[in-house]
Structure 1
Amino acid sequence: MIQTVIFDMDGVIVDTEPVHRYAYFKQFDELNIAVTEEMYTSFTGFSTRNTFQKLKEVFVIDQDVEDLIQRKRTIFNDAFDSKADLELLEGVENLIKDLHQNGMQLILASSASKVTIERVFRRFKLHNYFTHLVSGEDFPKSKPHPAIFVHAASLSIASKENCIVIEDSTNGIKAAKAAGIFCIGYNSIHSEAQNLSEADVVINHFNELDFNKVQNIQAKLRNN
């Protein structure tokens, strides 16, 4: 029986990707580096630290990673605060409330920084629904490395066999599967460049999920 649902944040709970994209590309311009769309897409699921570490391997960048992180965070925060139309993704608030009301433990495992997670959770009043908020900045390697999900599962009230992950990115799904956790791929309009084929189940809208359906999805797969 599923007792814990582990949520990614960007692209699953809220779409802050346009804000991240704006911040990154503004900073790329400042650094005078030409980051292609293909390269930028490959960073999906990376922490900001790992993104800049990778960029320093490819480009000549004099600034330290910590300075790069702080500059990107400043650009992001300024844009975040001014973006009035930032909303939770359609249907996810109802799903979160339904799972919580039925006694499901909810854990966040996001590559986002603690500061960004806190800004999102405070803005949308989500703290009461989640027992733990896990940030990718606490791990040396980003998704697809499984460390963040291994840690999230260790915080669960149940074994990882009774956990599921909801992810929208290729790297996130790879990380969940590498951690040995059942994974639901969310195929949103923001996931067009992502390969969800390794997910155990793929959904196109959160109205396809509720407490009972979460239990039934895994039960059906176990019987196959």
Structure 2
Amino acid sequence: MIKTVIFDMDGVIVDTEPVHRYAYYKQFSELNIEVNEEMYTSFTGFSTRNTFQTLKSNFPTIEHEVEDLIQRKRNIFNDAFDTKEDLLLLDGVEDLIKDLYQHGIQLILASSASKVTIDRVFTRFNLHQYFSHIVSGEDFPQSKPNPAIFLHAASLSIAPKENCIIIEDSTNGVKAANAAGIFCVGYHSEHSKLQDLSTANLVIHHFKELNAEIISQLDA
């Protein structure tokens, strides 16, 4: 029986991708580099640090230190985040979170986002009350598809990882869940059209397909 649900954040709980995209491409312009769609899509699930480490290896003209690049991107993102009024939780996810919480299923967040960004999202939508633990990708040297973030999240569970599931929307996130040996629900939304969720144990297209009863009976 499933005792713990581990959520990704971007693309699962809230769609901050347009804000991230705006921030990254504004910064790419400042750095005078051209990042094509294929390369940008490959960064999905990466931490900001890993993204800029990869960019520096691909674009030798980038002379800035990774930490400086991270801070600049964060500043652009935060300014845009605070002024974007149409930033909403994804359809149905709040009802699912509340249903799981009310039925005593533990909720853990494991997101590649920084702690600052996670806190901004959770504070804006009053989500802290539902989650027992928050794990940020900035605490790990390698991003998804490396399974470290999910293995750590599972170690915080009230039950063995065999009684956990992960909800992910990205190719790298699903690969990380697979590598961690944890049951993965792939969320295929309009925002994840270019992501490969084929190795997820279960693929859904709307959160109304899930509730506490269905999840608790999943055969992980």
Residue 39 of structure 1: aligned partner = 39
Size of the alignment, in residue pairs?
Answer: 219
* Structure 2 CA distance for aligned equivalents of residues 215 and 188 of structure 1: 23
* Structure 1 CA distance for aligned equivalents of residues 136 and 181 of structure 2: 19
| Normalised TM-score (structure 2) | 0.99
Task: Map Cα deviations across residues 106-154 of structure 1 (whole Å, 9 max, x no partner).
Answer: 0000000000000000000000000001000000000000000000000
* Structure 2 CA distance for aligned equivalents of residues 215 and 124 of structure 1: 25
Q: Which runs of 5+ in 1 are unaligned?
A: none
- 3-state DSSP class of the match of 1:202? strand
Residue 59 of structure 1: aligned partner = 59
CA contact (8 A) 2:7 2:110 kept: yes
* Structure 2 CA distance for aligned equivalents of residues 124 and 63 of structure 1: 34
Matched, 1:82 2:83: yes
Deviation, structure 1 residue 26? 0.2
- 3-state DSSP class of the match of 1:190? helix
- 3-state DSSP class of the match of 1:106? strand
CA contact (8 A) 2:23 2:77 kept: yes
The two structures, once aligned, show a CA RMSD in angstroms of 0.7
Partner AA of 1:158 in structure 2: A
| Normalised TM-score (structure 1) | 0.97
Q: Give the percent of matched residue pairs that are identical in Structure 1 and Structure 2.
A: 75
Deviation, structure 1 residue 215? 2.4
Residue 20 of structure 1: aligned partner = 20
* Structure 2 CA distance for aligned equivalents of residues 203 and 35 of structure 1: 31
Task: Map Cα deviations across residues 186-220 of structure 1 (whole Å, 9 max, x no partner).
Answer: 0011000000000000000000000111123x23x
Q: Which runs of 5+ in 2 are unaligned?
A: none
* Structure 2 CA distance for aligned equivalents of residues 169 and 206 of structure 1: 16
Residue 204 of structure 2: aligned partner = 203
Residue 138 of structure 2: aligned partner = 137
Matches within 5 A, 1:77-116: 77-116=78-117
Task: Map Cα deviations across residues 68-105 of structure 1 (whole Å, 9 max, x no partner).
Answer: 00000000000000000000000000000000000000
